[in-house]
Amino acid sequence: MSAPLVRLAVVPPRRLAVARILAVLATLATVGIVLALSGRDPLLLGRLILRSTVGSRFGLEDLALFMTPLLLTGASVWNGVRVNLWNIGAEGQFYAGATAASAIGLFVPLPGALMLPVMALAGVLAGAAWIALPAVARAWLSVSEIITTLLLNFVASLLVYYLATGPWADHVTNALASTERLRILIPAVWGAVHWGFVVALVVVVVLGVVLARSRFGYETAICGANPDAARYAGIAAAPLLCTVMLVSGGLAGLAGMIEVAGTVHRLQGGIANNYGYLGIVVALLARGSAVALIPAAALMALILDTGIVLQTAQISASAVLAITGGLMAAIAVADELAAYVRVKL
Amino acid sequence: MPETMFAPGEPPFLKLSGIGKVFPGVIANEDVSIDFRRGEIHALLGENGAGKSTLMNVVTGLYQPDSGEMILDGYGVEFAGPPAAIAAGIGMVHQHFKLVPRFTVAENLALGWNETPGWVAPGAIEAKARALSERFGLAIRADARIDSLSAGEQQRVEILRVLSRGAKMLILDEPTAVLSPVEVASLFDALRRFRDGGGAVVIITHKLDEVMAVADRCSVLRAGRLVGTHRITDVTPALLVGEMIGRPVDLPASYPRARPAPGPDAPAAMVLEAVSVRDEAGVTRLDAVSLVLRAGEVLGIAGVTGNGQPELAGVMTGLVAPFSGRVLLGGAPAPGADPGAFAAAGVGHVPEDRLRSALAPSLGVAENAVLREYRVKPVGGRLAYNAGAARRFAEALAVAANVRLASPTAPIRGLSGGNQQRLVLAREGRIATSVLVASYPARGLDIGAIAAMRERLAAARDGGVAVVLVSEDLDEILALSDRIAVLTAGRLMGVMERAEARRDVIGRLMSGRAADAEIAA
Ligand SMILES: Nc1ncnc2c1ncn2[C@@H]1O[C@H](COP(=O)(O)OP(=O)(O)OP(=O)(O)O)[C@@H](O)[C@H]1O
Ligand SMILES: [Mg+2]
């Protein structure tokens, strides 16, 4: 008998992985062709990119440094999407976390051993505080969180510019539009890579495990899938939704703290570097699974790094955006195609 | 083969030949061959999960068949999607209506239709809608918003939508499940008119009396395969049940009890004291209802749909807070709107619209199965949730509900309508230790499952549960109830003992004041 095409309702992870690898390769091929058409040597550039990313120790270190914030902002967005909440404000919460951590690091005299934990706590709390108003408005008043979280990004970004160039500006060197160097930094674990990378990995895995094994995870899943059924089951949705958003804010705030205390070492304007928005891409790539945030963040880090390499080769920085967009489109198509199988009757 | 018994003067409008459709782990249809003819109402019968909806989704292009072919007017056809099927003259009215609630009837009719002009004037499309309504003899109010219409009126709009696109074949999936008897009669009149004008009709239903009343021929599916096609004059309901289920099923006219029914001084599981409910617009939906639910009895709530049933069920299960009056649960005043507290006190609830309010369709069968018991061992505790235990729970529940699961982790929307219903019934039966409120529990169930459901309600009654049965089906109410209350325009028109209940009296109470129902505010 013939083997007809059937669309699967649930796609096995292995099929999805293969389809996505093909999508990445297809995107790479497209980028190569475009480069060749514009008179560049794609092989030469490719070798350059490989050498400066996965092909060398420094490249790998860079990747890990890019991955660290992306893991956490990705987790921040993913945690909301799971429940049908769209946190577009990870960027702002990132800034809030970085600012609070810097304030502790710069102005609060603490014994060395306490410094980093307190900074991390401050970062988490500040991220959560930055989303608190949108969270309450969404949970109890049904105000769309998309607009409110987005708008607060601009507030946070401008606030950091103001602090870094104004009251907190570094008056010692007076040269940089940034604060002084923090006195205590996150220790390194491997070259330039610091413990923040490990913490981010652990946080992502723990988040996935906790949501799968906890009553909180189950109840929030029901709220996200059908609020009426949640009410019927006696689940009070508003506090849960609020908590989910606060956790999202805390994750993005932690990303900000780790970035400032581990990678950048001082608070400066633009420190969030779009990590909050790229977190949306990471979360969408990861779909239903928390662990999938890790490869998704790695891929996004690779693209960012590639952009920098291309820039050194005098190719516009917008190339990163184009590649990201192309990749998202290719992956969306791949996900859809992966659902089709030939079955034997 | 029965087909050869008829002299087919002209080729059938649509001929299915060896249609097969598989889902992972499930063969939904296998080698199904049926002729659908012009000028004929064809009933499609079968147990829950037999593959009726799937077959019609194949015919309307929603699914692609995996084998077999469709021959339309003598030519082989393939439909890439529902628009292609509609272009070929095949339209379907689904059980869950697909109308835009905030649009008016006229706007819904104009929506997505090639003949709708680019610039729409309300007057013009309303005139058009009225013209359509007259042409097909289906009464509608062109300027009314969809969300203000009853289920029967919405269904008429759906049918008009399909007919206005020039359908020559009309498919209806369980169209009578949500209709009152009057609405059913008017639907059947419309179907007969369409048939007499040369249209082909396919109707999926579990109600055999309707099949005998309206169909010309019928086909029976079982486990995805065609068992037979018959002329209605050649069969009896009993014969059809035998073909559908493989054994005779009869629905008894009463469910005798070992002990006599509890009297007025029996312990009260729940008491309603002059409970009134208003909707958001301030209209009174439930008007000073006082009731005592006695442990160990079935209280039937008769009445035409839309007379306060959802509000009454809501008040009894904590979904709706009374506007005035109070609810006593196990002797103590119940908290206002707190469904969790009611469930914890042993109140189970099979709501009217299960898919929308009692299930999370995109989540797995396991997550849905434990919706009432995830707070306790073995599935969960104060903080934990054990997915493995939830899967085992779901498998056990499916066995109890007589549902075959391909996988407990697959989304529950993949189950047939009737099987979703069976699971909700079993789930609610488990937690209802004190009160079980069942709204239209027979909706969407096949006759075997109805028999099982009734036995389950009778067993709950014998176990000391106060059962509230909300239904439009007087036979069902009379068979099971110890006392019968009639709900009309939000008011209780009297509560009578089963022994004193007379069909004509109930009927009169049900319709008696229906006329002033809307003025209750
Ligand atoms: N989208 C789907 N994915 C997976 N399985 C499906 C899907 N749709 C239907 N099925 C399976 O196909 C079988 C037939 O389902 P179908 O809905 O056609 O039954 P039905 O005869 O309409 O039953 P009911 O009377 O309960 O509505 C069932 O076992 C069902 O679980
Ligand atoms: Mg069905």
What is the token pair recorded at A193? 């890579």
Are the CB atoms for A54 and A259 separated by under 8 Å?
Answer: no
In this prediction, residue A42 carries a pLDDT of 85
Q: What is the mean pLDDT of residues B377-385?
A: 88
Task: Say yes or no for a CB contact (<8 Å) between B360 and A216.
Answer: no
pLDDT over threshold 90, residue B139? no
pLDDT tens column, B229-262: 999 999 999 999 999 988 888 888 888 887 787 8
- Cα of B225 vs centre of ligand 2, distance in Å, is 15
Task: Say yes or no for a CB contact (<8 Å) between B411 and A345.
Answer: no
The minimal CB distance from B66 to the residues A4, A214, A222 is found for: A4
pLDDT over threshold 80, residue A332? yes
What is the token pair recorded at B511? 């319709």
Provide the 3-class DSSP secondary structure of residue B200: strand
Query: What is the distance, to the nearest Å, from the Cα of residue B4 to the centroid of all Cα atoms in its chain?
Result: 35
Architecture field, domain B268-360+421-510: 3-Layer(aba) Sandwich (3.40)
- Cα of B426 vs centre of ligand 1, distance in Å, is 19
Q: What is the mean pLDDT of residues B333-337?
A: 84
Per-position b or e across B176-208, b if 16+ CB within 10 A of its CB = bbbbbeebbebbbebbeebbeeebbbbbbbbbb
How near does any CA of chain A get to the CA of B420, in Å? 14
pLDDT over threshold 50, residue A344? no
How near does any CA of chain B get to the CA of A212, in Å? 7
In this prediction, residue B146 carries a pLDDT of 83
Residues of A with CB below 8 A from B372's CB?
233
- Closest residue to atom 22 of ligand 1, CA basis: B53
Alpha helices in chain A (DSSP H): 13-37, 42-52, 57-81, 90-107, 112-141, 145-165, 195-213, 215-225, 227-232, 237-258, 275-286, 293-312, 318-338
Provide the 3-class DSSP secondary structure of residue A178: strand
Instruction: Look up tokens 């909300």; give the residue.
Output: B470
pLDDT tens column, A102-126: 999 999 998 888 999 999 999 999 9
Task: Say yes or no for a CB contact (<8 Å) between A215 and B374.
Answer: yes
B22, B26, B362: residue to mutate for ligand 1 pocket, most atoms within 8 A of CB: B26
Angle of CA points B194, B198, B204, to nearest 5°? 55
Strands (E) located in B431-482? 435-439, 466-471
Q: What is the mean pLDDT of residues B472-490?
A: 91
Identical fold between B3-245 and B268-360+421-510: yes
Q: For residues B293, B298, B303 and B308, what is the CA-based torsion angle, rounded to 10 degrees?
A: 40
Per-position b or e across B398-422, b if 16+ CB within 10 A of its CB = bebbebebebbbbbbbbbbbbbbbb
pLDDT over threshold 60, residue B92? yes
Are the CB atoms for B443 and B350 separated by under 8 Å?
Answer: no
CB of B429 within 6 A of ligand 1: the answer is no
B416, B420, B422: residue to mutate for ligand 1 pocket, most atoms within 8 A of CB: B416
User: Residue A10's closest chain B neighbor by CA?
Assistant: B410
In this prediction, residue A9 carries a pLDDT of 58
Using the Cβ of A13 and the Cβ atoms of chain B, whether some distance falls under 8 Å is answered with no
CB of B415 within 6 A of ligand 1: the answer is yes
In this prediction, residue B5 carries a pLDDT of 41
Residues B70 and B15: their CA atoms lie apart, in Å, by 6
The strand pair at B435-439 and B466-471 is best described as: parallel
Q: Which ligand has the minimum distance to the alpha carbon of residue B47?
A: 1
Residues A177 and B191: their CA atoms lie apart, in Å, by 78
Using the Cβ of A213 and the Cβ atoms of chain B, whether some distance falls under 8 Å is answered with yes
Residue A4 preceded by cis peptide, ω within 30? no
What CA–CA distances, in Å, run from B472 to A212, B143, B306, B307, B352?
42, 29, 11, 11, 12
- Cα of A233 vs centre of ligand 2, distance in Å, is 26
Interface test with B, best of A82, A214, A215, A243 (most B CBs within 10 A): A215
The strand pair at B40-46 and B217-222 is best described as: parallel
Q: Report the run of H or E that residue B238 belongs to, with start and end.
A: helix B237-245
Q: What CATH number has the domain spanning B3-245?
A: 3.40.50.300
Residues B89 and B170: their CA atoms lie apart, in Å, by 9
pLDDT tens column, A251-267: 999 999 999 999 999 99
Provide the 3-class DSSP secondary structure of residue A107: helix
- Closest residue to atom 17 of ligand 1, CA basis: B416
Mean pLDDT of chain B: 87
Task: Say yes or no for a CB contact (<8 Å) between B383 and A214.
Answer: yes
In this prediction, residue B334 carries a pLDDT of 85
Are the CB atoms for B68 and B228 separated by under 8 Å?
Answer: no
Q: For the ranges A80-84, A215-219, B302-306, B326-330, which has the lowest average pLDDT?
A: B302-306
In this prediction, residue B260 carries a pLDDT of 80
Per-residue pLDDT band at B514 (split at 50, 70, 90): very low
Task: Say yes or no for a CB contact (<8 Å) between A233 and B371.
Answer: yes
pLDDT over threshold 60, residue B513? no
pLDDT tens column, B48-90: 999 999 999 999 988 889 999 999 988 889 888 888 898 899 9
Say what percent of chain B tops pLDDT 70: 95
B229: closest CA among B238, B220, B242? Answer: B220
Residue B470 makes CB contacts below 8 A (sequence gap 6+) with B301, B309, B312, B313, B352, B437, B438, B439, B440
Task: Say yes or no for a CB contact (<8 Å) between B360 and A214.
Answer: no
In this prediction, residue B126 carries a pLDDT of 84
How near does any CA of chain B get to the CA of A222, in Å? 7
Q: What is the mean pLDDT of residues A220-226?
A: 93
pLDDT tens column, A120-144: 999 999 999 999 999 999 999 999 9
- Closest residue to atom 8 of ligand 1, CA basis: B414
A104: closest CA among A93, A114, A92? Answer: A114
Mean pLDDT of chain A: 90
For chain A, give the longest Cα–Cα distance: 80
Say what percent of chain A tops pLDDT 70: 95
Residues A196 and B281: their CA atoms lie apart, in Å, by 55
**Residues facing B326 on adjacent strands:** B273
In this prediction, residue B4 carries a pLDDT of 38
Provide the 3-class DSSP secondary structure of residue B241: helix
Are the CB atoms for A87 and A255 separated by under 8 Å?
Answer: no
Task: Say yes or no for a CB contact (<8 Å) between B344 and A1.
Answer: no
Using the Cβ of A10 and the Cβ atoms of chain B, whether some distance falls under 8 Å is answered with yes
Query: What is the distance, to the nearest Å, from the Cα of residue B303 to the centroid of all Cα atoms in its chain?
Result: 16
CB of B417 within 6 A of ligand 1: the answer is yes
Per-residue pLDDT band at B1 (split at 50, 70, 90): very low
Task: Say yes or no for a CB contact (<8 Å) between A226 and B359.
Answer: yes
- Closest atom of ligand 1 to B418 CA is 26
CB of B490 within 6 A of ligand 1: the answer is no
pLDDT over threshold 50, residue B225? yes
In this prediction, residue B335 carries a pLDDT of 84
pLDDT tens column, B140-174: 888 888 877 777 788 888 888 888 888 899 999 98
In this prediction, residue B2 carries a pLDDT of 42
pLDDT tens column, B255-308: 888 778 787 778 889 999 999 999 888 888 899 999 999 999 999 999 887 788
pLDDT over threshold 90, residue A339? no
CB-defined contacts A:B, below 8 A:
98
- Cα of B281 vs centre of ligand 2, distance in Å, is 35
Using the Cβ of A234 and the Cβ atoms of chain B, whether some distance falls under 8 Å is answered with yes
Angle of CA points B237, B241, B247, to nearest 5°? 135
Are the CB atoms for B45 and B220 separated by under 8 Å?
Answer: yes
Task: Say yes or no for a CB contact (<8 Å) between A233 and B414.
Answer: no
Task: Say yes or no for a CB contact (<8 Å) between B384 and A234.
Answer: no
The minimal CB distance from B67 to the residues A4, A226, A235 is found for: A4
What is the token pair recorded at B346? 């042993």
Residues B248 and B242: their CA atoms lie apart, in Å, by 5
Per-residue pLDDT band at A271 (split at 50, 70, 90): very high
Using the Cβ of A129 and the Cβ atoms of chain B, whether some distance falls under 8 Å is answered with no
CB of B50 within 6 A of ligand 1: the answer is yes
Using the Cβ of A14 and the Cβ atoms of chain B, whether some distance falls under 8 Å is answered with no
More confident: B455 or B124: B455
Residue A193, Cβ neighbours under 10 Å: how many? 20
Instruction: Look up tokens 């190719």; give the residue.
Output: A315
In this prediction, residue A315 carries a pLDDT of 81
Query: Strands across the sheet with B169-173, in order?
Result: B90-93, B169-173, B200-204, B40-46, B217-222, B225-231
Instruction: Look up tokens 């662990």; give the residue.
Output: A291
pLDDT over threshold 80, residue A343? no
Are the CB atoms for B453 and B429 separated by under 8 Å?
Answer: no
The minimal CB distance from A345 to the residues B22, B380, B410 is found for: B22
pLDDT tens column, A174-206: 666 788 889 889 999 988 999 999 999 999 999
Using the Cβ of A232 and the Cβ atoms of chain B, whether some distance falls under 8 Å is answered with yes
Provide the 3-class DSSP secondary structure of residue A276: helix
What is the token pair recorded at B517? 């129902």
A223: closest CA among A245, A241, A247? Answer: A241
Say what percent of chain A tops pLDDT 90: 62
